[in-house]
Amino acid sequence: MAFTLAAFLQFVLFFLVEMRYLLRIWLVSRPTPRDSDALRRELGTLLTSFCAFLLPQRWTPPRTSV
């Protein structure tokens, strides 16, 4: 249980630090958006792609015997 908790906390801290770093790079390299909705959409796309890179979907549905 302790190992699982430590691994989870390490992952959360890694995610927060790396996301802040990625966000700073992204903000410097992008032109300023005209409205807050465009910024929100672009940030959502950035966060989604970052999460998709870190957490590849490996779930497969359980097999059922007929």
Question: pLDDT digit string (tens) for 2-46?
Answer: 888 888 888 888 878 887 888 888 878 877 767 888 888 888 888
52 vs 37, higher pLDDT: 37
Three-class HEC string of 20-51:
HHHHHHHHHHCCCCCCHHHHHHHHHHHHHHHH
Q: What is the pLDDT of residue 56?
A: 63
